[in-house]
Structure 1
Amino acid sequence: MYNAPGMRAANTAFWTALSELLCEAGLDGVPESLSFERPPVPDVIGDEVLFTQVCGYPLQTVYQGQYRLLARPCYDAAGCTGSTHSAFLVARKSSPARRVADLRGQRFALNSLHSNSGMNLPRRMLAEVAGGKPFFGEVIETGGHGASMRLVAEGGADCASIDCLTYAFSQDHQPELVEELRVIAQTPSSPTLPFVTSARTDDATVAVLQRCLYRLSAEPRFASVLSGLRIARIEPAPRAEYSALLDHARRAAELGYPVLV
């Protein structure tokens, strides 16, 4: 999920460390390298997927029955607390907006209709002020958080909701994406994006993947590998906490704002 330009070396180091542990544990057929070309929100989690990281909200919607949870990272970044993260509602620095209500009628850049940080969490926050009516003047789907930030910075949209980790990684590796932006508000929190495997992965392989992820988190020799991705530790990912992401959708609907518009 966090695969911005400039992060390939850090992601490669993570996979190199994990794959070495997997091979050491006797797992056969471990891929030598990561695939960097897949979209952040693919159409499906294919049967061939051994290891990936997925947005938590589509796990409850379009990816039902396609995955098995492995673990989740805890991050060291603004907007993260323990095993949770949030999103930042951002606008251009020159925008007169100072609070969420000031964005009414403006153009919103949406990375994906299936995104937790780009759609689900801001929908829940906006439901409190929308009054059961459309809030934005226009919603523009961009295909990714980076594209949304760029569109806002260039004036093609007025605001967007950006995963706080994406925002932090952009500050680290693409500061030009965020230097023209300002955070207006922080959304409610939710569990961090989990590591998953295909639903077809057998129990024994799942157990090996989990053990190796926990070793990667616990052994001091991998500290720099984790810090390169702002990971403080890796811990279990309780299914119930991800199912609760649908509570945000239900509450927004109860408040008369079932669709981010």
Structure 2
Amino acid sequence: MIASLAMYDWPHQQHHWDRLWDHLRDAIRARGIDAPDALTRHGSLWDHWQSSDLVLGQSCGMPYRTRLHGKVALVGALDHGLPDAPPGWYNSVLVVHRDAAGHLADFSDRTLAYNGQDSESGWAAPQAAAADAGFRFTRSLHTGAHRASLRAVAERRADIAAIDAETWRLACRSLPGTTGRLRVIGTTRPTPGLPLIAARSHDPDRLAEAVESALAAAEPSTLDALHIRGFVRIPAADYLAVPIPAPPSQDVPAA
């Protein structure tokens, strides 16, 4: 069995996620569904998401709509109470070096650092924001992680990055030496939050009830530490309505 809630599972947050999983596990088992004792923190996320043993996982919106829709059960999304986003939705902050002048349109010919081309927050969201401003990012630097994108901009190996707003909140707390060298020049349009998913054999309604019950039972200190304000049952149509951008066309080699 697999339970994978890895998207915001930073080292200093792991004990809080473990405590939340205790409540989730008990609520899931109370509904007649077998669940593992502990979270799975080894192996590939794609292997987790596509496994027939997945009891509860957390994906990203873009992988869900491009590859996982129809192959997994969609449960809903946690609400992190992010500003300028509806409950259960999220957006990205657009960050540049603190000494860089200008607004988004001034970065049309600059290098975008992105974590992965299947990332909603790091690739799809900034391309949508660029399209709204009348251009497309054509120069890009693949970093592999939001934290690496932050470092790339702070070290001037890239000019701009789009960072999931919850990740930015975590980074400001735990990576002040990096975030202190950056400034936010805007935010992207909100999109449905990171989807909680399960293997298709599971009943998503029963799992959604379990999540709601677990959050009601969890200690306020745990929910506060994880910035969790609730849970929203977001329909698949909302995820599928988000545009899919073209893949990167001109990666700049990492320094």
**Aligning the two structures, in what range does the TM-score lie when normalised by the shorter sequence?**
0.7 to 0.9
Is residue 117–residue 247 contact of structure 2 (8 Å, CA) maintained in 1?
A: no
TM-score under structure 2 length normalisation: 0.86
TM-score under structure 1 length normalisation: 0.84
The letter of the residue matching 1:217 is L
Q: Which residue of 1 aligns with 2:18?
A: 12
Compare 105-114 and 35-44 and name the one that shifted more: 35-44
Q: Which residue of 1 aligns with 2:146?
A: 145
In the aligned structure 2, how far is the partner of 1:25 from the partner of 1:43? 22
> What SS does the aligned partner of 2:68 have?
coil
Structure 1 residue aligned with 2:70, among 58, 65, 71?
A: 65
> What SS does the aligned partner of 1:51 have?
strand
Is residue 23–residue 215 contact of structure 2 (8 Å, CA) maintained in 1?
A: no
In the aligned structure 1, how far is the partner of 2:84 from the partner of 2:248? 22
Structure 2 residue aligned with 1:75, among 74, 80, 84?
A: 80
Q: 1:35 to 1:66 in 2, by over 3 A?
A: same
Q: Which residue of 2 aligns with 1:122?
A: 126
In the aligned structure 1, how far is the partner of 2:84 from the partner of 2:45? 20
- Which segments of 5 or more consecutive residues in structure 1 lack a partner in the other structure? 253-257
Q: 1:148 to 1:228 in 2, by over 3 A?
A: same
In the aligned structure 2, how far is the partner of 1:65 from the partner of 1:141? 29
Alpha-carbon deviation of 1:110? Answer: 1.1
| Residues 106-185 of structure 1 mapped to structure 2, 5 A cutoff | 106-131=110-135, 135-136=137-138, 138-185=139-186
> What SS does the aligned partner of 1:2 have?
coil
Q: Which residue of 2 aligns with 1:255?
A: none
Is residue 115–residue 122 contact of structure 2 (8 Å, CA) maintained in 1?
A: yes
Q: Does 1:202 align with 2:202?
A: yes
Is residue 80–residue 164 contact of structure 1 (8 Å, CA) maintained in 2?
A: no
In the aligned structure 2, how far is the partner of 1:207 from the partner of 1:69? 9
1:20-79 Cα distance to aligned partner (Å, 9 max, x none): 222333333x11111223456669522221111111121111223321111211112345
Q: 1:76 to 1:193 in 2, by over 3 A?
A: same
Where do 4+ consecutive residues of structure 1 move more than 6 Å?
Answer: none
Q: 1:162 to 1:42 in 2, by over 3 A?
A: farther
Q: Which residue of 2 aligns with 1:27?
A: 33
Q: Which residue of 2 aligns with 1:85?
A: 90
Is residue 49–residue 57 contact of structure 2 (8 Å, CA) maintained in 1?
A: no
In the aligned structure 1, how far is the partner of 2:75 from the partner of 2:209? 9
Q: Which residue of 2 aligns with 1:229?
A: 226
Superposed CA RMSD: 2.2
In the aligned structure 2, how far is the partner of 1:50 from the partner of 1:116? 23
In the aligned structure 2, how far is the partner of 1:93 from the partner of 1:195? 35
The letter of the residue matching 1:166 is T
The letter of the residue matching 1:35 is T
Q: Does 1:95 align with 2:93?
A: no
Is residue 123–residue 259 contact of structure 1 (8 Å, CA) maintained in 2?
A: no
In the aligned structure 2, how far is the partner of 1:197 from the partner of 1:177? 35
Is residue 146–residue 177 contact of structure 1 (8 Å, CA) maintained in 2?
A: no
> What SS does the aligned partner of 1:95 have?
coil
In the aligned structure 2, how far is the partner of 1:170 from the partner of 1:153? 13
- Which segments of 5 or more consecutive residues in structure 2 lack a partner in the other structure? 1-6, 250-255
> What SS does the aligned partner of 2:26 have?
helix
Alpha-carbon deviation of 1:186? Answer: 0.6
Percentage of pairs with the same residue: 26
In the aligned structure 2, how far is the partner of 1:198 from the partner of 1:20? 19
The letter of the residue matching 2:208 is Q
